[in-house]
């Protein structure tokens, strides 16, 4: 059954690619870095809508998802699915948002869209209670486990100061496009968790980070494979007791979203939205110093929209 | 041979119980809803009897049904419901296929060995000692064989297929990390399995009629059954086919008598008798007099049991010595028993170590104990925070426990149970030793009993408020220090109630029309 499904899907994918080749725009099939980052905006900030509608609006500012996802490419989406809590608790990325991003990618002709996280709580429960498993399946994406060491392969982090090696999930290493979809929330260890902190779910051994200067490790790892796009979900924002939260009382419904190609800029803007100075968050400051991106929002061209 | 329908029913029921009991233990993905488990384990005699003694509720009357069945028809539990019995039947079936001529032979019972084991087991039960039940209960042994040997095996198979499919970009089957216990926890079931397969291959139900205390107990009751299998001496032609197929070796040809205390009601004899001479007969009274001779084999079995006892004792001497790297050693006064088990005492005096909770635990924080509860409570599961931590909303173990060692809990109630208290060793903490941020413990804490408070400069260090702690072990599991943790859970001997942390409302309001702060 599964094999048959696989074969039929492969054939279908082949057909789609074939048609695209015969009638489509050839240049779009072979993206070059220049057209990947041809957007006029560095960052988009949206407020006042539902998570999916805000993404529709935000991605428009970048010229649509097709600027990032080309036909036949594989996409990996990395939400925060760290905790066994329901969406309203603000512990995990909003499932509506994940669902919508997958649909955008598939509409743009993505071959496969994978979603995974190396969760903290039991992964089966996290995937199901967060609503993300359902959302991914509904959107025809592929939900993948991050709970087995066999998925993780050791890589060297050249720019790393403390974190020089890490075992990274194969989807991050193999996928053509990497979309990072963190949720903005308070964090007892890292002050706030946004885009760079979310990348901690790409690796197997997180204890090493905690034991070896957490903030430096977070910044170090952001230099390894920068996401092509970072979408910060700030719809339900956990203002205290993060990252797991204790109850819905920890959550402020901010109905906001920030997306950027620059993970440091996305983090800086989200931190401000949260109400903290990004330069006071060590890993944002360090990442800025390492020139992994810019936390100086004044120099960026920002698309702002209140729905 | 008109009775062979009985045999067919027996086989069908035994396969049903073997299959479904196995599925419970082999559900590596925790796919089955935990509240269904009780319907299958209800009829396991010893767990059900313990549950009845503890809870006195209708859902634990399985053993009473078995008792009634035994009083009517003999040891149907042993032939149909006991999964270990069916395993033995399979082994002796294979044996009989191989050695066509020499099948079973009548033998006398090992009277003293049989009853001594039963008496000692019962006496030890009265003194609150469960070791013999743990080591001898057929269901619990079956459980451990599946939990420690077959469950990991299925897991490996699953992972193999998952890897293969992964190469084809199919991720619907996923690998599962194998988190099995220590070596002895798997070695004992392995040896036990080898032992019982050997016995049944050679001698059919010898274990059930010599070692198993439940078999002996039901055997005694069988002596008083209303309907007994009897050989009709007038129609019997004395061909002896029945005796050859009797896996209990309890049909004596000379006197044409069936030792009904050893008969497991398998109905093989009914099936083969050419003159239909074996029948259930209504019997108002009459205890078959037992011969009481000892034998060399008797002695051998005794010594082998003694040796098993000795080895387990010797193993208790082995202590795991941690590497001498870190400064402050963790000294736990006690491990934690699972939520719902009320106290270490309640748990250890009611758990038969079938390990169903271990296989049902989605995080596998439950692991078989070695000396954690003392060697006399070997294999009873404990909360092993080295492996994982207890999921805050999960009550799986309490739902599946067949003995009421872990009482059924609702998720809401479970969140208030404190099975242990977190303790902090500041001198081991990264924040102090490395002067860098950490907070992994507080991150994972579901109740925020562990909170990060101001330390030096920007740094924050954990602070524990014990009354909010549930003892889930998330902090201990997440703590990155080696080899000693900077935070650990000390088990409560008596489980306590954790207070709910007062909820502070956010007084922030959001103006959706307000401009962005950048």
Dump pLDDT digits (tens) for A244-268. Answer: 999 999 999 999 999 999 999 999 9
Q: Each residue of A58-105: pLDDT tens digit? A: 999 999 999 999 999 999 999 999 999 999 999 999 999 999 999 999
Q: Do A189 and B440 touch (CB under 8 A)?
A: yes
Top residue of A8, A126, A148 to mutate, by most chain B CBs within 10 Å, is A148
Residue A99 within any structural domain of the chain: yes
Q: Distance between CA atoms of B167 and B53, rounded to whole angstroms? A: 53
Grade residue B291 by pLDDT with cuts at 50, 70 and 90. very low
Q: Which of B 469-488 lie inside 8 A of A, CB atoms?
A: 478-482
Strands (E), chain A: 43-47, 74-79, 112-115, 142-143, 152-156, 165-169, 177-181, 183-187, 191-193, 229-238, 251-260, 302-306
What's residue B296's pLDDT? Answer: 41
CA distance B50 to B404: 7
pLDDT band at B475 (very low <50, low <70, confident <90, very high): very high
Distances A73 to A143, A168, B27, B210 between C-alpha atoms, Å: 17, 20, 36, 67
Q: Nearest-CA distance from B514 to chain A in Å?
A: 8
| Nearest beta carbon to residue A45 from set B163, B177, B516 | B516
- Alpha-carbon span B227 to B230, nearest angstrom: 9
Of residues A112 and A36, which shows the higher confidence score?
A112
Residue of A nearest to B31 (CA): A124
Q: A192 near A234, Cβ under 8 Å?
A: no
Residue B149 distance to chain A (closest CA, Å): 21
Whether residue A152 lies inside any domain: the answer is yes
CATH number at residue A183: 3.40.50.11440
Residue A28 lies in a domain: no
Residues A238, A91: contact at Cβ < 8 Å?
yes
Q: Write down the ipTM of this complex.
A: 0.86
From residue A281, how far is each of A144, A252, A273, B328 by CA, in Å?
31, 21, 13, 32
For an interface test with B, the pick among A90, A185, A189 (most B C-beta atoms closer than 10 Å) comes out as A189
SS3 labels along A141-193: CEECCCCCHHHEEEEECCCCCCCCEEEEEHHHHHCCEEEEECEEEEECCCEEE
The residue of chain A nearest to residue B429, with distances taken between CA atoms, is: A211
Local structure of B489: helix, strand or coil: strand
**A232 located within any domain:** yes
Q: Which domain holds residue A166?
A: 41-306
B394-449 pLDDT, tens digit each: 999 999 999 999 999 999 999 999 999 999 999 999 999 989 999 999 999 999 99
Task: Report the mean per-residue pLDDT for chain B.
Answer: 88
- Tell me the domains of chain B and their CATH numbers: 4-282 (no CATH), 418-496 (3.30.70.20)
Q: Does B391 touch chain A (CB under 8 A)?
A: yes
Residue A258 lies in a domain: yes
Residue A1 belongs to some domain of the structure: no
Given a cut of 90, is residue A197 above it in pLDDT? yes
How do residues B297-355 score in pLDDT, each as one tens digit?
Answer: 444 444 444 444 444 443 333 333 333 356 899 999 999 999 999 999 999 999 999 99
pLDDT of B285 strictly over 60: no
Q: What pLDDT shows up at residue B182?
A: 80
Domains in chain A, number: 1
Neighbour tally for B393: CB within 10 Å: 16
Q: Say what percent of chain A tops pLDDT 70.
A: 87
Region B211-233: what's the mean pLDDT? 93
* A170, B163 Cβ separation under 8 angstroms: no
**Closest to A72 measured CA to CA, from A118, A108, A119, A22:** A108
Query: Is A23 a residue whose pLDDT tops 80?
Result: no
- Give domain status of residue A3, yes or no: no
Neighbour-count burial for B319-353, b at 16+ CB within 10 Å, e otherwise: eeeeeeebeeebeeeebbbbbbbbebebbbbbbbb
Let me know if residue A176 belongs to a domain.
yes
Alpha helices of B58-205 — where are they, by DSSP H?
62-73, 76, 83-98, 111-126, 131-136, 138-145, 151-167, 183-203
Banded pLDDT at B179 (limits 50, 70, 90): confident
- Pairing, β B460-464 against β B450-454: antiparallel
> Of A236, A197, A237, A249, which Cα lies nearest the Cα of A219?
A197
């Amino acid at each position: 059954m599964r094999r048959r499904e696989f074969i039929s899907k492969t054939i279908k994918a082949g057909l789609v690619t074939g048609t695209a080749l015969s009638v489509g725009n050839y240049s779009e099939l072979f993206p070059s870095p220049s057209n990947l980052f041809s957007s006029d905006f560095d960052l988009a900030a949206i407020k006042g809508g539902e998570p999916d509608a805000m993404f529709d609006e935000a991605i428009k500012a970048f010229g649509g998802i097709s600027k990032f996802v080309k036909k036949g490419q594989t996409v990996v989406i990395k939400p925060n699915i760290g905790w066994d809590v329901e969406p309203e608790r603000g512990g995990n990325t909003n499932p509506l948002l994940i669902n919508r991003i997958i649909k955008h990618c598939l509409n743009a002709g993505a071959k496969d869209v994978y979603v995974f996280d190396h969760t903290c709580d039991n992964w089966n429960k996290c995937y199901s209670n967060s609503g993300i498993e359902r959302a991914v399946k509904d959107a025809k994406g592929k939900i993948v486990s991050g709970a087995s060491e066999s998925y993780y392969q050791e890589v060297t982090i050249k720019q790393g100061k403390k974190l020089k090696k890490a075992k990274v999930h194969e989807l991050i290493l193999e996928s053509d496009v990497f979309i990072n979809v963190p949720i903005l929330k308070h964090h007892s260890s890292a002050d706030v968790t946004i885009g760079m902190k979310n990348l901690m779910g790409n690796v197997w051994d997180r204890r090493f980070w905690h034991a070896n200067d957490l903030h430096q490790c977070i910044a170090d790892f952001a230099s390894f494979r920068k996401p092509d796009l970072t979408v910060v979900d700030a719809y339900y924002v956990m203002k205290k007791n993060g990252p797991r939260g204790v109850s819905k009382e920890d959550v402020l419904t901010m109905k906001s979203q920030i997306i950027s190609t620059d993970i440091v800029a996305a983090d800086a803007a989200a931190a401000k939205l949260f109400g903290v100075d990004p330069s006071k968050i060590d890993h944002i400051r360090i990442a800025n110093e390492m020139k992994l991106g810019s936390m100086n929002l004044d120099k960026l061209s920002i698309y702002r929209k209140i729905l | 041979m008109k009775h062979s329908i009985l045999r067919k029913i027996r086989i069908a029921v035994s396969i049903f119980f073997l299959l479904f009991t196995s599925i419970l233990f082999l559900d590596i993905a925790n796919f089955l809803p935990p509240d269904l488990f009780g319907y299958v384990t209800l009829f396991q005699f010893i767990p059900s009897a313990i549950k009845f003694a503890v809870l006195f509720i209708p859902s634990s009357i399985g053993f009473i049904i078995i008792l009634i069945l035994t009083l009517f028809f003999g040891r149907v539990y042993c032939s149909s419901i006991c999964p270990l019995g069916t395993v033995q039947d399979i082994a002796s079936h294979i044996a009989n296929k191989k050695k066509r001529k020499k099948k079973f032979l009548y033998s006398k019972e090992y009277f003293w060995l049989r009853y001594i084991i039963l008496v000692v087991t019962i006496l030890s039960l009265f003194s609150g000692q469960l070791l013999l039940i743990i080591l001898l209960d057929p269901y619990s042994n079956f459980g451990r064989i599946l939990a420690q040997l077959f469950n990991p095996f299925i897991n490996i198979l699953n992972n193999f297929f998952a890897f293969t499919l992964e190469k084809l970009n199919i991720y619907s089957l996923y690998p599962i990390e194998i988190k099995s216990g220590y070596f002895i926890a798997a070695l004992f079931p392995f040896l036990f399995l080898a032992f019982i397969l050997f016995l049944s291959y050679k001698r059919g139900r010898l274990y059930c009629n010599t070692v198993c205390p439940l078999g002996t107990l039901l055997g005694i009751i069988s002596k008083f059954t209303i309907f007994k299998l009897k050989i009709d001496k007038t129609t019997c032609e004395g061909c002896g086919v029945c005796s050859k197929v009797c896996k209990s070796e309890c049909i004596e040809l000379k006197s044409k008598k069936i030792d009904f205390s050893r008969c497991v009601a398998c109905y093989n004899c009914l099936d083969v008798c050419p003159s239909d001479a074996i029948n259930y007969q209504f019997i108002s009274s009459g205890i078959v007099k037992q011969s009481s001779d000892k034998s060399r084999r008797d002695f051998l079995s005794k010594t082998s049991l003694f040796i098993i006892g000795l080895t387990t004792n010797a193993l208790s001497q082995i202590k795991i010595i941690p590497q001498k790297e870190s400064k402050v050693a963790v000294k736990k006064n006690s491990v934690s028993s699972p939520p719902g088990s009320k106290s270490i005492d309640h748990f250890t005096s009611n758990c038969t170590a079938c390990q169903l909770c271990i296989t049902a635990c989605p995080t596998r924080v439950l692991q078989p104990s070695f000396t954690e509860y003392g060697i006399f409570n070997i294999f009873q599961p404990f909360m092993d925070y080295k492996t994982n931590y207890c999921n805050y909303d999960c009550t799986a173990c309490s739902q599946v426990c067949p003995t009421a060692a872990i009482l059924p809990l609702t998720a809401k109630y479970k969140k208030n149970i404190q099975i242990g208290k977190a303790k902090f060793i500041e001198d081991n903490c990264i924040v102090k030793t490395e002067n860098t941020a950490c907070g992994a413990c507080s991150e994972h804490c579901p109740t925020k009993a562990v909170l990060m408070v101001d330390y030096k400069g920007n740094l924050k260090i954990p602070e524990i408020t014990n009354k909010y702690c549930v003892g889930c072990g998330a902090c201990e599991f997440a703590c990155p220090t080696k080899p000693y943790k900077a935070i650990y859970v000390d088990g409560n001997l008596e489980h306590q109630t954790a207070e709910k942390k007062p909820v502070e409302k956010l007084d922030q309001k959001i103006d959706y029309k307000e401009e962005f702060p950048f």
